[in-house]
Structure 1
Amino acid sequence: MQKDWLIVGDVHGCRAELDALLAKAEFRPEQTELIFVGDLINKGPDSEGVLERAVAYNARMVLGNHETNFLEQARAGTFRPGSMSRVAEQMGPRLGKWVDYLERQPFWLIRPQLLVVHAGLHPSLALEDTPPRILTRIRTWGENGLFMDREQDPPWYHFYQGDATVVYGHWARAGLVMRERTIGLDSGCVYGFQLSALRWPQRELIQVNAFETYVQVPLD
């Protein structure tokens, strides 16, 4: 029998809040599979600690835009000054290990009646034909994809016609979004709000408050 899934929204290096969330959910790896919607790293204080939790619990994840950005800079051999370079500094000699780990991760996870992706879906392309840039970055849809984060355009999920429930992250500015067939779990923990998880198939929401504000708005 397939295990329940505990799907966690964007952690962004908030390892202490992740531990608190798992404790509140009474998470047991032998009973429940841990799933991340991407953006485990960057901005918060302990990106490596979050990745270590993922490995320790044999979790599954999809790549978010912060993971793809991290991999792009790692492949280029240089990290731009800022929070991503601090992630690399924290990893130190273990950087290559984490690059290898993230390079093995997918852009989506599927089980019956459920799809997990970091940002969202193209209105008309099949999942396997959708560029990673869209899967990891889309928020809104305007002018045939020329814009994917424009306030005057409708959210991508207004175009969604599938039967499976899509669980995603990436959109902290929108906060928690609970719809019948699309559920957004990025509730802005790193910005001082909440870290959210969804127990599936029960559709049970579990949240903990951020312990502090690690990054000020604007949200991205």
Structure 2
Amino acid sequence: MAIYAVGDVQGCHTELVQLLEQIRFEPAKDKLWLVGDLVNRGPGSLEVLRLIKSLGDSAITVLGNHDLHLLAVAEGTAELHRTDTLDEILDAPDRDELLHWLRHQRLMHAEGGYVLVHAGLLPQWSVAQALALAREVEAALQSDDYATFLARMYGNNPPNWSDDLTGYKRLRVITNALTRMRICTNEGEMEFKFKGEYPNIPEGYRAWYEVPGRASRDATVIFGHWSALGLLLKDNAIALDTGCLWGGPMTAIRLEDRKLFQVECCNPVAKHW
């Protein structure tokens, strides 16, 4: 059995199929890990959801900010953005089935010394604590009152974690860290405006995975979300969003030997960052 981790798909269905063909993915024996943002901006979001859902237990995906945005739009708690490409999902005959499946996916997965997450982990969170906190958000998403969570998850405050946080403020910080964070201070205060390249990180902030003494440093965190960062291969951090949507390749890595696989983008869209 091989485990292949794949960067942000964002509706690039053609490239995903080509990548699965290149790695010779066999659902009966292999596993596919996806870092989230299955949908949006690309032309084939509906096909991507149907494909990953069809793989059943052979695929593990964590939720990204675009996946949560889709759920919020579907519930009427957020509006479509000008650059969204979600209408095909919202109008699909199997819409409810797909959205129910998406809402029941994880925000974090940990296995064999690896952690799978869309954006990152706050520096004070151990893997065990982060998993427990992710489960709190997952429980809110899967509850009968999930629409209320989707309506309350938006916002940049509080910008940092405290064990004393309760209610939707607590869930918002967890969600923001796992699905939106790129940089933070050494104390774990997040900043959300920055989307640029690594050398341009604002003064006083670091890439979240470089904070000294990060509590999750003994695990290898696999993440996406930061297309301007590109491919990153460190002992304890692997970034796989290589910007397929914007004209870069779509990237997969085989975890057992860290062999890389890439396919080129077919239909790039204009960069917005």
1:202 aligns with 2:246: no
Give the count of matched residue pairs: 215
1:19 aligns with 2:17: yes
The match for 1:140 among 162, 179, 183 is 183
Contact 2:35 2:61 in 1 (8 A): yes
* Alignment-derived partner of residue 124 in structure 2: 124
Matching residue's letter, 2:235:
E
* Alignment-derived partner of residue 68 in structure 1: 68
C-alpha deviations, 1:67-112, integer Å up to 9, x for none?
Answer: 111112222266424343x413344132222210111001011111
Question: Measured at CA, do residues 54 and 103 of structure 1 come closer, stay the same or move farther in structure 2, by a change above 3 Å?
Answer: same
Give the structure-1-normalised TM-score: 0.90
Structure-1 separation of matches of 2:48 and 2:188: 36
The 5 A counterparts of 1:136-215 are 136-142=179-185, 144-150=188-194, 151-152=201-202, 153-159=205-211, 160-161=214-215, 162-213=217-268, 215=269
The match for 2:7 among 6, 9, 27 is 9
* Alignment-derived partner of residue 111 in structure 2: 111
* Alignment-derived partner of residue 27 in structure 2: 29
Matching residue's letter, 1:56:
S
Matching residue's letter, 2:33:
I
Moved beyond 4 Å, runs of 4+: none
Give the structure-2-normalised TM-score: 0.74
Q: Which has the larger radius of gyration?
A: 2
Structure-1 separation of matches of 2:121 and 2:192: 11
* Alignment-derived partner of residue 53 in structure 1: 51
Matching residue's letter, 2:117:
V
The sequence identity of aligned pairs, in percent, is 33
* Alignment-derived partner of residue 218 in structure 1: 272
The alpha-carbon deviation at position 148 of structure 1 amounts to 4.1
Contact 2:5 2:32 in 1 (8 A): yes
Contact 2:124 2:188 in 1 (8 A): no
Structure-2 separation of matches of 1:146 and 1:20: 36
The alignment yields a C-alpha RMSD, in angstroms, of 1.8
